[in-house]
A = this chain, B = another copy of it.
């Protein structure tokens, strides 16, 4: 973090990362995201975290927008769990489109972090996906604000959150 950013901080105060999660999810995704951010450089100094819990994942979009507009968040991590039933996929689609619209109406990124309840039948595996995906996207949010080069150097590398990275195509080609 250079002098310029320190100066900016003096004037504008710290950056703000919003975390929105749900009562509906079966894992405390917000807690995982906050734990990751607490490990990032500058926590509670160059950036602060503002949290909110809503009933379900369809409520994430407007809550994220309000965090941006009224709490001046610079980026938001929106965490939710679509259920197993077919109708849940439709609801997830609506929730995702809402998050998309909220970003476009505010010109501010909102990272949609959804763990589908049917991604694994093994609760231990699923818990790990919840924990890792929430953490990795919290880290992505941090990078997007403070260290975008971390993303640039991973362009096209098949990076995943929650399961192992897929890797770049060439590697698969060589292995295949």
Interface size on A, residues (CB 8 A): 76
Given A94-B97, A172-B123, A137:B55 Cβ within 8 A = yes
A9-44 Cβ-contact flags toward B at 8 Å (1 or 0): 000000000000111111111110000000000000
A153 to chain B: closest residue by CB: B53
Q: Mark A141-164, 1 if CB is under 8 A from B, else 0.
A: 000100010011011111111000
| A5 contacts B by Cβ under 8 Å | no
Residue numbers in B under 8 Å from A62 (CB-CB): 103-104, 107-110
16 contacts between A and B (CB under 8 A): A23-B154, A23-B155, A23-B159, A27-B169, A62-B104, A62-B110, A90-B96, A97-B100, A98-B101, A100-B101, A101-B104, A102-B104, A104-B105, A123-B172, A127-B169, A127-B170
Q: CA of A111 to CA of B54 in the docked complex: distance in angstroms?
A: 10
At the interface, yes or no: A6 with Cβ under 8 Å from chain B? no
Question: Does the CB pair A103–B98 fall under 8 Å?
Answer: yes
State the number of copies, please.
5
Closest to A87 in B: B116
Q: Report whether over half of chain A's contact residues are helix, strand or loop; otherwise say mixed.
A: helix
Cβ of A156 and Cβ of B98 under 8 Å apart? Answer: no
> Which of B100, B107, B116, B167 is A69 in contact with, Cβ under 8 Å?
B107
Question: B61 contacts A103, CB within 8 Å?
Answer: yes
Q: Does A2 contact B (CB under 8 A)?
A: no
- Provide the residues of chain B in CB contact with A72, threshold 8 Å: none
Q: How far is the CA of A125 from the CA of B60 in the complex (A)?
A: 29
Least Cβ–Cβ distance between A148 and chain B, in angstroms: 7
